[in-house]
Structure 1
Amino acid sequence: MSTASVRALAHPACQEIRLEGVLHALSDPMRLRIVRFLWRLGEGEGAPCSAIELVITKSTTTHHFRVLREAGVISQVYRGTAKMNALRRHDLDTLFPGLLDAVLTADAVQRERDGLPAT
């Protein structure tokens, strides 16, 4: 693949990811929805922003993806005109073992308790 078709965005290195930044990124319901979607895709899988249904403006969507990327929760790379997103699960599990699973499990319990759909 040529470098012209894939453009990388700035991401923190694994050792630069901070717990407080990750927790802040995961504290917003829209960002948690993005993470749930990417978690279901599996390790190394990515999806364009448009694949994740969010009922918010494009500028707000862009903000949420940026917060997740800058916190080190997701990676983003341009492929053509699409911005592909993937969960940085390996990095997060290495730095904070069990954190992502605990947050997503707690989220699922709360969603079930509140009668909300799993998505």
Structure 2
Amino acid sequence: MTTTAPAGSRDLPHPAREEIRLEGVLHALSDPMRLQIVRELAAAGGEELTCSQFELPVTKSTTTHHFRVLRESGVVRQIYRGTAKMNGLRKDDLDALFPGLVDALLAAAARQSSRLTEF
């Protein structure tokens, strides 16, 4: 069951663990900007980061879109703390559903990044 926000609430809807689908996760991570966001969240070691902590070479509205895709696919959890929107990787949920997937994708992304910077 998707958690829905009450009317007038600043809580954001997220899929429940059992609603997260592999194809949604893979789609969300297929975009380089979204993959960069996930890599930065993974590097934060479980700490939540504000949206403003990400320096993406896209407009604010495009950044908002990328975060929404990640949240709606179940890759990240977003919550408001005061006026800041905090983002955390749902690694526990993803590991429970798809063991090893996140680690394999992050390792592959790191190898690709290294390979591409060699040129």
Q: Which has the higher contact order (CA 8 A, sep 6+)?
A: 1
Q: Which residue of 1 aligns with 2:33?
A: 30
User: Is 1:16 equivalent to 2:55 in the alignment?
Assistant: no
Q: Kindly, what percent of the aligned residue pairs are identical? A: 67
Residues of 1 paired with 2:111 and 2:81: CA distance?
A: 35
Deviation at 1:80, TM superposition (A): 1.1
Q: Which residue of 2 aligns with 1:83?
A: 85
TM-score, normalization: structure 2? Answer: 0.89
Residue 73 of structure 2, aligned match among 43, 62, 71: 71
Classify the secondary structure of the residue corresponding to 1:75: strand
Q: Which residue of 2 aligns with 1:3?
A: none
Q: Which residue of 2 aligns with 1:40?
A: 43
TM-score, normalization: structure 1? Answer: 0.89
Q: List per-residue Cα deviations over 1:56-95 (Å, max 9, x = no partner).
A: 1010000000000000000000111110000000000000
Deviation at 1:42, TM superposition (A): 1.4
Residues of 1 paired with 2:45 and 2:12: CA distance?
A: 21
Residues of 1 paired with 2:11 and 2:78: CA distance?
A: 7
> What is the Cα-based RMSD across aligned positions, in Å?
1.3
Which 4+ stretches in 1 moved above 4 angstroms? Answer: none
Residues of 2 paired with 1:81 and 1:58: CA distance?
A: 16
Residues of 1 paired with 2:55 and 2:105: CA distance?
A: 21
1:38 and 1:46 in contact (8 A); partners too: yes
Residues of 2 paired with 1:41 and 1:32: CA distance?
A: 14
Q: Which residue of 2 aligns with 1:51?
A: 53
Q: Which residue of 1 aligns with 2:109?
A: 107
